[in-house]
Structure 1
Amino acid sequence: MKRLTAYVSGNVQHSGYRARVTDIARMLGFKGTVENLDDGRVKIIAEGDEDKLRWFEEAICIKNSLINVSSIEKEYSSQRGDVNRFYKLVEKGETDSRLDTAADHLKSLIVAVNRMNDNLSSKIDQMNDNLSSKIDQMNNNLSSKMDVMIDLQKDALSGQEILIEEVRQSREEIKGRLDQRFDKLESEVAEMRGALKSKGII
């Protein structure tokens, strides 16, 4: 049985780091303490099986959206047996568990928002692809109809005025449909932007 004393530097205070260390140490059956130091570091004392302590060294080097360990100074010594469990040392007036709980909730919220942003980005890309495909299809259809009309004009000079009127009506109908579709698409995009703004995403 050995005693590990570690001084951890980085973004480790007011981030839920001590609570994570406490959970890991208790899971491994260690005895000891974890506390914030005035210089911004966290001091960890852990006593237990030496092989588990070596694994513990790696486990406490946490890097995520809230915690970022930059370095760990450590030294081993003989076990003293002056503590009977592993616990967090808390200064007077510190929120302790409420802060740790809030940090955990914040981390979960950040993960959820990131997932939502990924899903939203994928849906917007899909909508853009569908819109481009529909516009291309409409352009192809319009071009095809125009070609047919030109051929009919060449073949039927006697009915030129009738064909010109049909072309004009077709264009007006197509334009009307295009205007309706674009108006609908603009309305949907405006609604989506409004929903995103109301949720604070954009």
Structure 2
Amino acid sequence: MMKNAIIDVTGIEKKYGPSTGGLERFAKIVDDGETDERLDTAVDHLKVLIDLTKQGLGKQDQMLKKQDQMLGKQDQMLGKMDLMLDKQDNLVDKIEEAKMEIVTEIKDLRSDFKTNIEDRLSRIEIDMAQVKAKIGL
């Protein structure tokens, strides 16, 4: 006899006879709960399982599309961040240039001021020497 998850055969009856050709169709006769009924139940379960699998795959497809959209938005954000970093780099460069210009201007002003002061002090010293000479000191 035969028994597994789908089939449970407990007995077989055979009858042989001459073929008359008078039958248009035939059907397998089984008792309730035997193979055909169990296969029908299994088919129903498989159909449900296939439907659930399709639904799950559909949901996965939707999730993948959303992930793709999110990745696209992240790429856009990264592009904007790159632009911001470029602008910051440009700003830092301009600040550095301005700093160098200011330092140069201050050095030039100090040099001009120093030269001017030295000239004035020199003239004052000459004038003082002339005054001292006239008054006899």
Which of the two has greater helix per residue? Answer: 2
Which structure features the higher share of strand residues?
1
Q: TM-score, normalised by structure 1?
A: 0.34
Q: TM-score, normalised by structure 2?
A: 0.46
Higher RCO structure (Cα 8 Å, ≥6 apart): 1
